[in-house]
Amino acid sequence: MKVVAERLRCLRGARGLSMKAAADAAGLNTSTIYRIEHGFVAPRESTVRLLLALYGEQAHERTLLSLLRGERPPGWFDAPRVPLWLTGFLEQEDQAQVIYTYGPQHVPALLQTRAYAEAAVRAARHPSATPEQVNGGADLIMRRQELLERPGGPHLWAVLDRKALLDPPLTRSGDRLEQLDALVSAAKEPNVAVQIARPSADTGYLYHGAPFTLLRFPERDRPDMLVLHLLHGPVLVDDRRQAEDYQQAFARLSLSAFRVDDTLDVLDTIRGTLTG
């Protein structure tokens, strides 16, 4: 209940509403808002829905209601500093056994250096990004990467485009080389597989679509989750047929890419290109 209370308080603050303004708009008493936000009472589901609609977050009500119902324990991704639109994805990512990911224009967040993460956040929010937003976004990416370091953590399989490595959102050559070195280190880990895509002219295959992630879970009866990384954030798709379509797309990307065993040599070649 405390996590729900903190989240509702922060969402109200982000909208610039006082307790009285929120209460008046929702048709509630100010004391009701106060007691909910301080964890003195558990709000009704209808009240949470009402407040989330008021704060413009009704699309993500399932994430908060699952906590309110006690359907799951709170995780680090439920902290108020994590945007609610991202929490649902991070919860699923945290539970995955295998993570397949492909992004034609960028290095996946789970493999980014701090400098790359800051540059990616800055580029996504430009020109309105504040230093606090950049640091906060990069902190979140670094926190996500702890997933790969924990005992029994998931296996990551990432296919990267050469363009993402040759034209990263980094201006300093040292930062570019650091990112390549980080990929080399990651590729040597037993729970990480990295492949570099070959030129489309050689493979005859060109992927048309958004960056995506496929999450596979340890439960045998739990279907894979498809995540599309769109302009305004990740979209979770639990349609089996769509997930199967993207499984086939990832398989084709993997088969047309350089072999996993060739990754270190390909990265070394790219490093030589950047160093001249």
CA distances from 260 to 195, 202, 276 (A): 5, 18, 25
Using CB atoms within 10 Å of the CB of residue 236, give its burial: 0 to 12 exposed, 13 to 18 middle, 19+ buried: middle
pLDDT (tens digit, 0 to 9) for every residue of the chain, 276 residues total?
799 999 999 999 999 999 999 999 999 999 999 999 999 999 999 999 999 999 999 888 999 999 999 999 999 999 999 999 999 999 999 999 999 999 888 999 999 999 999 999 988 876 677 899 899 999 999 999 999 999 999 999 999 999 889 889 998 999 999 999 999 999 999 999 999 999 888 888 888 889 999 999 999 999 999 999 988 889 999 899 999 999 999 999 999 999 999 999 999 999 988 886
CA angle (50 as vertex; 44, 53 as ends), nearest 5: 140
Using CB atoms within 10 Å of the CB of residue 218, give its burial: 0 to 12 exposed, 13 to 18 middle, 19+ buried: exposed
Q: Which residues of 15-49 are buried (b: 16+ CB within 10 A; e: fewer)?
A: eebebeebbeebebeeebbeebbeeeeebeeebbe
pLDDT value of residue 127: 67
pLDDT value of residue 191: 97
Torsion angles phi and psi, residue 70, rounded to 5: 75, 25
Dihedral sign computed on CA atoms, order 114, 119, 124, 127: positive
CATH number of 88-275: 3.30.870
Common-topology check for domains 2-74 and 88-275 = no
Q: Which residues of 123-142 are buried (b: 16+ CB within 10 A; e: fewer)?
A: eeeeeeeeeeebeebbebbe
Strand duo 155-160 + 98-103: pairing = parallel
The answer to whether 101 and 213 have CB atoms below 8 angstroms apart is yes
Sketch the domain layout of the chain as residue ranges.
2-74, 88-275
pLDDT value of residue 276: 65
Q: Which CATH class is domain 2-74?
A: mainly alpha
